[in-house]
Amino acid sequence: MNVFNKVSTLKEFVNNCKFSKKTIGFVPTMGALHEGHLTLIRQSKKENDITICSIFVNPTQFNNAIDLKHYPIKHTEDKALLEGVECDILFLPSVEEMYPSGIENKNLVGFLFGDIEKQLEGAFRPGHFNGVGIVVSKLFHMVNPDKAYFGLKDLQQFLIIRKMTKELSFGIEVIGVPTVREEDGLAMSSRNLRLTSDERAKAPFIYEVISEMKNKINHSQAPKEVLDWGIQKFQKNTSFHLEYLEIVNTSDLKPVEPYQTPNAYAIVIAAHLGKVRLIDNLLIE
């Protein structure tokens, strides 16, 4: 695997690929890689000639300086994992390389995604999707992939990037990959590394509750009833601080009441466990 730190080296490589008509699959990440990320890489390997993974902890998408400061960095382990799945290229730029004019607001071009960014993650992490939009569009211009792979674990991010890619005519196929979970159901996340062992043991509660909610929805229980049940479960479990729990339409992420077949829905959740903010979702199709 080649590791590129410079945009110029990456672009030269990409140009050569285009010249020799090789297709490029792209997997953007923030590192501290786990099986979820590796699943995206494996899918890209299957569907493209060349797979490029990027690792960049993007400062412009963090609205919480403590979260950014504590974001795990594991470049040595990450490289070994990427070698293991035979990733072709790792793009590992510095903040200065990605943002040569700095990351001050006045230096940045901004994104507005309309209604889809206003709820859920967007409501609790102001500016988050603007930062995601900026970094993903920069990376798309640098990597110029045929296909780009994103986890459905970050459902709102996936929907926003898919919209941005279409509206800005990037000509890239954005592919959503199902959430990879630990054996006990906890959605894999780089942030899980920050859980204490006691918190890690409690964390699967999130999946247990949303799975039972999905079960109730499949048995035609009304959304409000199912939601009240889920919220009560969290009110009784004082280890968690629930930020949001909703049953939403996957078209606009607005709450569903009542169900309207044949629409697709999702149960979406964000909860704090100790100092760690965990998100998850289950699709109901």
CA angle 204, 66, 103 (to 5 degrees): 120
Stretch touching ligand AMP by CB under 6 A, among 74-82, 116-124, 187-195, 249-257: 187-195
Q: Given candidates 24, 50, 174, 177, which one binds ligand AMP under the rule CB under 6 A?
A: 177
| CA-to-CA dists, residue 194 to 40, 57, 190, angstroms | 23, 16, 8
Q: Given candidates 17, 134, 186, 187, which one binds ligand AMP under the rule CB under 6 A?
A: 187
Q: Between 119 and 156, whose beta carbon lies closer to ligand AMP? A: 156
Q: Is 241 a catalytic residue?
A: no
Q: Which two tokens stand for residue 48?
A: 């493209």
Q: Give the count of residues interacting with ligand AMP (CB under 6 A).
A: 17
Q: Between 185 and 274, whose beta carbon lies closer to ligand AMP? A: 185
Omega before 255 within 30 of 0, i.e. cis:
no
> DSSP H helical segments within the chain, as ranges?
7-19, 35-47, 65-69, 75-84, 95-98, 121-124, 128-143, 155-167, 197-202, 205-218, 223-236
Q: Which two tokens stand for residue 104?
A: 């001050």
Residue 57 beta carbon to ligand AMP: minimum distance, rounded to whole angstroms: 9
* Per-position x/- string for 112-151, each x denoting binding to ligand AMP as judged by CB under 6 A, each - no binding: --------------------------------------xx
Kindly list the residues in this chain that would bind ligand AMP in the complex (CB under 6 A): 29-30, 36-37, 39-40, 150-151, 153-154, 177, 179-180, 187-190
